[in-house]
Amino acid sequence: MKKLFTIPFIASLAFIMSCFGQGESFPTNLPPIEFNQKIKELPKAPLIDVRTPDEFSKGHIQNAINIDWNGSTFDQQTAGYDKSAPLLIYCLSGGRSGSAAAKLRGQGFKNVIEMSGGMMKWRAANLPEVTANQANAGGMTMENYNALLQNKKIVLIDFYADWCAPCKKMKPFLEEISKENTNTEVIRINADDHAQLCQELGIDALPVVILYKNQKQIWKNVGFTSKQEIVKRLK
């Protein structure tokens, strides 16, 4: 009985170990510096930027191919790639590339590597990027930004993007706060249009809300926050 029990047990254990051995050995999500190294290690691998063409034109990783995740031809444009070969993918903050990567894996792509944090983290790491015309994208300067803070009112700065779901959810009540609080100046800054400013301020995720009083930062929140929480901070 002992021998009969031992053999199936060993066979089962061997089967389990073989299953683990067949698992994916490649990294699927890398921070910017490691992602940049992977680009260098895999020069022939497609590098796909899934942001909008407008975002792409304002700054992207060199040699990246723009295939808009929210566009109508995403499936058609990615269908021709070799599903067994590595494919690198990124967006602005990681949300869209994560969704795109999940879909590609579901379609049979074996080695999809995402950049965690997207271009916001890439810029925060001071890694190089190019624009459509090889010139620096425009946007607000630090001098312009500091001028906004020279206000007797409390200044509430909201860094957002049009594609950002939490940003969209916050927009209506930020407008309400602006109307209901006469002592507060609410200013919304589109991160896509002011990439250099975001880099200088260390804004590497969205949304971000910052409160200033007498030109000094008194509160900062990264990610979604409620109207109640902001009003409480204003008091």
* Distance separating alpha carbons of residues 93 and 97, to the nearest angstrom: 8
| CA distances in angstroms from 220 to 159, 190, 231, listed in the order given | 11, 17, 13
DSSP annotation of 194 reads: -
**Cis (ω within 30 of 0) for the bond into 207?**
yes
Of 141, 207, 142, the C-alpha closest to 169 is 207
Residue 164 known to be catalytic: yes
* Distance separating alpha carbons of residues 94 and 163, to the nearest angstrom: 12
Residue with tokens 């957002």: 160
Strand order in the sheet with 208-213: 184-190, 154-160, 208-213, 216-222
DSSP annotation of 22 reads: T
Residue 30, classed as helix, strand or coil, is: strand
Active site residues: 164, 167
